[in-house]
Amino acid sequence: MAIVIEHITKRFGDFVALDNVSLTVPDGELTALLGPSGSGKSTLLRIIAGLEVPDRGTVMLGDRDVTNVPPQRRGIGFVFQHYAPFKHMTVRDNVAFGLTIRKRPRDEVKARVHDLLSLVQIEQFADRYPSQLSGGQRQRMALARALAVEPEVLLLDEPFGALDARVRKELRAWLRRLHDETHVTTVFVTHDQEEAMEVADGIVVMNKGAIVQVGPPRELYEHPANEFVMGFIGEVNRLGDAWVRPHDIDILFDEVPDSVEALVERVVYLGFEVRVELLRRDGSRVWAEVPRDQAEQLELREGQIVNTRARDARTFPASDSSQSSASEQPTSA
Amino acid sequence: MLGPGIAVAYLGLIVLLPVAALAWNAAAAGPNAFITAITNPATLAALILTLFAALIVVLIDAVMGTLIAWILVRDDFPGKRSVNALIDLPFALPTVVAGLVLLTLYGPKSPFGLNLAYTQVAIGLALLFVTLPFVIRSVQPVLLELDQDMEEAAASLGASQAVILRRILLPTLLPAILTGAGLSFARAIGEYGSIVLISGNIPFKTEVASVAIFNQVESDDPAGAAAISIVLLVVSLIVLAALDLVRRRRTHEAETEL
Amino acid sequence: MTSTAVTERQGTRSPSYGRRWPRLLIRSIGLLYLALLLALPVGLIFVRTFAGGLEPVFTALRSPDFQHAFWLTVTLAAIAVPINTVFGVITAITLVRRRFPGRGLLNAIIDLPFALSPVVIGLSLVLVYGQNGWFGSFLKASGFQVIFAVPGMVLATVFVSLPFVVREVIPVLREIGTDQEEAAYTLGASPARTFLRVTLPAIRWGVIYGVVLTTARSLGEFGAVSVVSGRISGKTETLTLYVEERYSEFDLIGAYTAAVVLALIAVAVLLAMNALQSGRGNQAREWVTDLLRLGRGKRRPPSDNDTEKAALDTNRSEI
pLDDT one-digit tens code per residue, B219-230: 888 888 999 999
C128 contacts B17 by C-beta, under 8 angstroms: yes
Q: What is the pTM of this model?
A: 0.81
Higher pLDDT, B167 or C1: B167
The average confidence (pLDDT) of chain C is 80
Check residue C302 and give its pLDDT. 46
pLDDT reading at C80 higher than 60: yes
Taking only residues 131 to 160 of chain B, the set having a beta carbon closer than 8 angstroms to any beta carbon of chain A reads 147, 149-150, 152-160
* CA–CA min distance A262, chain B (Å): 53
C42 contacts B101 by C-beta, under 8 angstroms: yes
Gap between the Cα atoms of A312 and A131, Å rounded = 51
Q: Does C240 touch chain B (CB under 8 A)?
A: yes
Q: Does B19 touch chain C (CB under 8 A)?
A: yes
Element (DSSP H or E) covering residue A9: strand A3-12
pLDDT reading at B203 higher than 80: yes
pLDDT in tens, A267-320: 998 888 899 998 988 888 889 998 888 888 888 888 888 888 888 888 888 655
Nearest neighbour of B89 by CB, restricted to C125, C221, C270: C270
ipTM for the whole complex = 0.90
* C98 contacts B189? CB cut-off 8 A: no
Per residue, the 3-state secondary structure of C169-203, as one string, reads HHHHHHHHCCHHHHHHHHCCCCHHHHHHHHHHHHH
Q: Does B246 touch chain A (CB under 8 A)?
A: no
Range with the lowest mean pLDDT among A64-68, A300-304, B200-204, B254-258?
Answer: B254-258
Neighbours of B34 (CB within 10 A): 20
Element (DSSP H or E) covering residue A157: strand A153-157
Strands A305-310 and A249-252: antiparallel
Share of chain B above pLDDT 90, in %: 63
Check residue A323 and give its pLDDT. 45
Q: Quick one: CA torsion of B127, B128, B134, B139, rounded to 10 degrees?
A: 150
Nearest neighbour of A84 by CB, restricted to B147, B167, B251: B147
Residue of chain A with shortest Cα separation from C313: A162
End-to-end CA distance of chain C: 43
pLDDT reading at A114 higher than 90: yes
Check residue A307 and give its pLDDT. 87
Q: Does B154 touch chain C (CB under 8 A)?
A: no
Gap between the Cα atoms of A136 and A173, Å rounded = 13
Gap between the Cα atoms of B253 and A89, Å rounded = 11
Any idea what DSSP says for residue B228?
H
Average pLDDT over residues A322-332: 36
pLDDT reading at B237 higher than 90: no
Confidence at C14, pLDDT banded by 50, 70, 90 = very low
Nearest neighbour of B156 by CB, restricted to A78, A102, A129: A78
Strand partners, A277: A266, A287
* CA–CA min distance B130, chain A (Å): 32
Q: Does B44 touch chain A (CB under 8 A)?
A: no
Residue of chain A with shortest Cα separation from C6: A13
Using alpha carbons, select from B97, B76, A116, A31 the residue that is nearest to residue C26.
Answer: B76
A102 contacts A150 by C-beta, under 8 angstroms: no
- Catalogue the E-assigned strands of A231-315: 237-239, 242-244, 249-252, 260-270, 273-280, 285-291, 305-310
* CA–CA min distance B61, chain A (Å): 23
Average pLDDT over residues A215-238: 91
* B253 contacts A78? CB cut-off 8 A: no
Angle at A32 between CA A35 and CA C13, to 5 degrees: 65
Q: Does A71 touch chain B (CB under 8 A)?
A: yes
The average confidence (pLDDT) of chain B is 90
Residues from chain A that touch C317, judged by Cβ atoms under 8 A, are 134
* C27 contacts B71? CB cut-off 8 A: yes
B85 contacts C270 by C-beta, under 8 angstroms: yes
| Burial environment of residue A105 by CB neighbours within 10 A (0 to 12, 13 to 18, 19 or more) | exposed
Residue of chain B with shortest Cα separation from C85: B10
Share of chain A above pLDDT 70, in %: 95
pLDDT reading at B123 higher than 90: yes
Output Rg (C-alpha) for chain A, integer angstroms: 24
Neighbours of A132 (CB within 10 A): 14
* A145 contacts B153? CB cut-off 8 A: yes
Check residue B176 and give its pLDDT. 93
Check residue A310 and give its pLDDT. 85
Cα-flanking dihedrals φ and ψ of residue A59, to 5°? -125, 130
pLDDT in tens, B71-97: 999 999 999 999 999 999 999 999 999
Residue of chain C with shortest Cα separation from A189: C303
Nearest neighbour of B156 by CB, restricted to A49, A86, A89: A49
Q: What is the largest CA-CA distance in chain C?
A: 81
Check residue B187 and give its pLDDT. 94
Residue of chain C with shortest Cα separation from B85: C274
pLDDT in tens, B38-73: 888 999 999 999 999 999 999 999 999 999 999 999
- What count of CB pairs under 8 Å joins A to B? 75
* CA–CA min distance A99, chain B (Å): 9
The average confidence (pLDDT) of chain A is 89
Q: Which chains touch A (3 or more CB pairs under 8 A)?
A: B, C
Using alpha carbons, select from A136, A168, A161, A79 the residue that is nearest to residue C310.
Answer: A161
Check residue C285 and give its pLDDT. 43
- Report CA torsion sign: C187, C192, C193, C197: positive
b/e per residue A33-58 (b: at least 16 CB within 10 A): bbbeebbbbbbbbbbbbbbbbbeebe
A23 contacts A5 by C-beta, under 8 angstroms: yes
Residues from chain C that touch A134, judged by Cβ atoms under 8 A, are 317-319
Range with the lowest mean pLDDT among A109-113, A290-294, A316-320, C301-305?
Answer: C301-305
pLDDT reading at A51 higher than 50: yes
Using alpha carbons, select from A63, B195, A188, A167 the residue that is nearest to residue C244.
Answer: B195
Share of chain B above pLDDT 70, in %: 97
- What count of CB pairs under 8 Å joins A to C? 71
Check residue A324 and give its pLDDT. 43
Hey, what amino acid is at A85?
A: P
Gap between the Cα atoms of B82 and B66, Å rounded = 18
pLDDT reading at A217 higher than 90: yes
pLDDT in tens, B9-30: 999 999 999 999 999 988 887 8
Query: Which residues touch B65 (CB under 8 Å, ≥6 apart)?
Result: B132, B134, B135, B136, B138, B139, B177, B180
- Report CA torsion sign: B104, B109, B113, B119: positive
Residue of chain C with shortest Cα separation from B216: C123
* CA–CA min distance C307, chain A (Å): 8
pLDDT in tens, B208-222: 999 999 999 988 888
Gap between the Cα atoms of C180 and C194, Å rounded = 9
Check residue C29 and give its pLDDT. 95
Confidence at B251, pLDDT banded by 50, 70, 90 = low
Check residue C289 and give its pLDDT. 36
B111 contacts B84 by C-beta, under 8 angstroms: no
pLDDT reading at A244 higher than 60: yes
Q: How far is CA C67 from CA B173, C150, C222, in A?
A: 48, 16, 18
End-to-end CA distance of chain A: 50
Strands A202-207 and A185-190: unpaired
pLDDT reading at C290 higher than 80: no
Check residue C315 and give its pLDDT. 35
Nearest neighbour of A164 by CB, restricted to C298, C303, C318: C318
Runs of H (alpha helix) within chain A: 41-49, 91-101, 106-119, 135-148, 165-182, 193-199, 217-222, 227-232, 292-298
Check residue A36 and give its pLDDT. 94
pLDDT reading at C93 higher than 60: yes
Residues of C with CB under 8 A from a CB of A: 1, 4, 15-17, 298-304, 306-307, 309-310, 313-314, 316-319
